[in-house]
Amino acid sequence: MSELIGLTAHEAAERMARGEFSAVELTQAVMDRIEAVEPQVQAFLTTTADSALIAAAKVDERRAQGESLPPLAGIPYALKDNMCTVGVKSTAGSKILYNFIPPYDATVVARLKAAGAVLVGKANCDEFAMGSSTENSGFHPTHNPWDLARVPGGSSGGSAAAVAAQECVIALGSDTGGSIRQPAALCGVVGMKPTYGRVSRSGLIAYASSLDQIGPLGRDVTDCALLLNAIAGHDPLDSTAANVPVPDFAAACKSGVKGLRIGIPQEYFGQGVTPEVSTLVHAAIDKLTELGATAEVCSLPYTEYALAAYYIIAPAEASSNLARFDGVKYGLRTKQLAGHIGLTEKTRDEGFGDEVKQRIMIGTYALSAGYYDAYYKRAQQVRTLIRQDFDRVFETFDVLLTPTAPSTAFKIGEKSDPLEMKLADVCTIPVNMAGLPGLSIPCGFADGLPVGLQLIGKAFDEETLFRVAYTYEQATEWHKASPKL
């Protein structure tokens, strides 16, 4: 049944409904694929073949009884390992949680269970979602399915690589500064960060709480729309999960782009964007104007300050969120003898990787007495300026279009300077700072490596992003390419 693994979720759902194959057959095909390519790709930290086959069999049983099933019933999916799964190890890519088995499901996991989706494994990521290459995983790097010597991007690199390598049909990632969109671009798949508050964060192991958002990855736009519909909406367990209506995103896809006003922020084409990426993104703009949209250059002058402000705000929140890892309640505890402070200090030194320690240190410093106003407060004021930039251009435009990442996937080990690595997120970070939705969609290849473009929308207007992305996708062939593995 190896022909099944390349199907999108909506194709597979239609064919299962017609009785062409069962959820168990589809899940088995995906598990076989994982067994075949995982030694090269290493997208997963844990796979869940046994429970997946049981869940798939339940879906088949419900179908046999004539039940009408939700669109994702029987669809195999991967979950970034920073989301809690009851009874299944959840490490967030960190050694400090190497043995953590959550006592509850994240809200998104509970909703996908109810929808009949089939969890096939927990995807690798940068430790606590801090990174842009998945090289910061406490366990092993993940390889880009298009070129195994290269990174898949990050931090949701395992999720993006698993979707691209057909080791699952769809996946969830989390995005704090680009961690869904950048790996989606580097792996040639579709990925979306919804508006802050669109999806519950309950059960997401926190990195930077005012920026983190869970979102979908898939091999086409419709799959991402279906997956977002399954997880979105208010949740009493997360007071920041906004109580606003959730539209039918899959239906929104089909409205076309006639008369839609696309803004092209000029600042996003400097910042180290390679000529190859720029050319492909501009070709996509031309394509969309052919399809009936209008495009015009605009300006977001505070863009250049976003990266610096982000690297104060995100680490500050992280230093507070990661204070819970103390060697007492769960996870690693040092074997060295120590008093109560020493126990915590030694445990954290052994359990955290370098990047995480660096972010805890800068965050602690930025929040410490005497420096709060100079760093944290000022960064939050800059955040206001960045939001106001977006508010202003959205008076004129319906959607903005930029590159997702400045370049294609880089080689594993190539970016040893952490500051250089951080530039990989220069086009995605401002979107998190403003809490807006952003979507990355494949727009071509440079030297055989995928390139993505980013669409940025108004708060809670994911519908327009799906419209533009779907219309572009239907007029192009990029999403039909798959890596040779």
Partner 1 sequence: MALSQDEVRKVALLARLELTEEEIASQAKHLNDLLGQFEKLQALDVTGIEPTSHSIPIVNVLRDDVERPSLSREETLANAPEARDGCFVVPRIVAD
| List 22, 94, 155, 440, catalytic entry | 155
* Binding status of residue 77 toward partner 1 by CB under 8 A: no
Helix (H, G, I), strand (E, B) or coil at 238: strand
159 is catalytic: no
Q: Which of 71, 93, 116, 331 binds partner 1 (CB under 8 A)?
A: 331
Q: Give min distance, CB of 60 to partner 1, in A.
A: 31
* Segment interacting with partner 1, rule: CB under 8 A, options 36-44, 48-56, 94-102, 253-261: 94-102
Distance CA 285, CA 377 (A): 38
* Residue 382 in contact with partner 1, rule: CB under 8 A: yes
Say how far apart CA 448 and CA 148 lie, in whole Å: 12
Residue 239 touches partner 1, criterion: CB under 8 A: yes
Stretch that binds partner 1, among 186-194, 262-270, 306-314, 405-413 (CB under 8 A): 306-314
Q: Does residue 134 contact residue 124 with C-beta atoms inside 8 Å?
A: yes
Which H or E run includes 379? helix 378-393
* Shortest separation between residue 102's beta carbon and partner 1, angstroms: 8
Nearest to partner 1 of 261, 346 (CB atom): 346
Non-local (6+) Cβ contacts of 109 within 8 A are: 79, 83, 84, 85, 86, 119, 203
Q: Which of 73, 184, 379, 468 binds partner 1 (CB under 8 A)?
A: 379
Residue type, position 226, single letter = L
Strand ranges for 116-256 from DSSP E: 118-123, 170-175, 190-193, 213-218
A 10 A CB-CB count for 448 gives: 9
Alpha helix stretches (DSSP H) within 18-165: 23-41, 49-64, 107-114, 157-164
Residues 6+ apart with CB under 8 A from 330: 97, 100
Of 9-17, 282-290, 362-370, 467-475, which segment contacts partner 1 by CB under 8 A?
A: 362-370
Closest to 393 measured CA to CA, from 440, 431, 442, 423: 431
Q: Is 341 in the site for partner 1 (CB under 8 A)?
A: yes
Indicate whether 287 belongs to the interface with partner 1 (CB under 8 A). Answer: no
DSSP H or E segment with residue 455:
strand 449-456
Convert residues 394-433 into a mask of x (bound to partner 1 by CB under 8 A) and - (unbound).
Answer: ------------------------xx-------------x
> Does 18 help bind partner 1 (rule: CB under 8 A)?
no
> Exactly one of 94, 159, 179, 200 is catalytic; which is it?
179
Residue 333 lies near partner 1 (rule: CB under 8 A): yes
How many C-beta atoms lie closer than 10 Å to residue 370's C-beta? Answer: 6
Which H/E stretch holds residue 348? helix 340-351
- Closest distance of CB 417 from partner 1, Å: 9
Binding-site string for partner 1 from residue 206 to residue 225, where x marks contact by CB under 8 A and - marks none: ----x---------------
- Report how far apart, in Å, the C-alpha atoms of 30 and of each of 74, 77, 89, 178 are: 12, 10, 21, 27
Could you tell me the smallest distance in angstroms from the CB atom of residue 195 to partner 1?
A: 8
Active site residue 482: no
- Alpha-carbon gap, residue 210 to 208, rounded angstroms: 6
Between 279 and 381, whose beta carbon lies closer to partner 1? 381
Known active-site residue 287: no
Active-site pick, 80, 122, 193, 415: 80
The correct pick among 32, 51, 95, 104 for binding partner 1 (CB under 8 A) is: 104
Question: Among 194, 197, 263, 353, which residue sits at the site for partner 1 (rule: CB under 8 A)?
Answer: 197
Please check whether residue 153 is in contact with residue 431, taking contact to mean a CB–CB distance below 8 angstroms: no
Footprint on this chain of partner 1 (rule: CB under 8 A): 99-101, 103-104, 195-197, 210, 236, 239-240, 242, 304-305, 307-309, 311-312, 319, 323, 326-333, 338-346, 348-349, 352, 354, 357-358, 360-362, 364-365, 368, 374-375, 377-385, 387, 418-419, 433-436, 459
Task: Tell me the catalytic residues.
Answer: 80, 155, 179
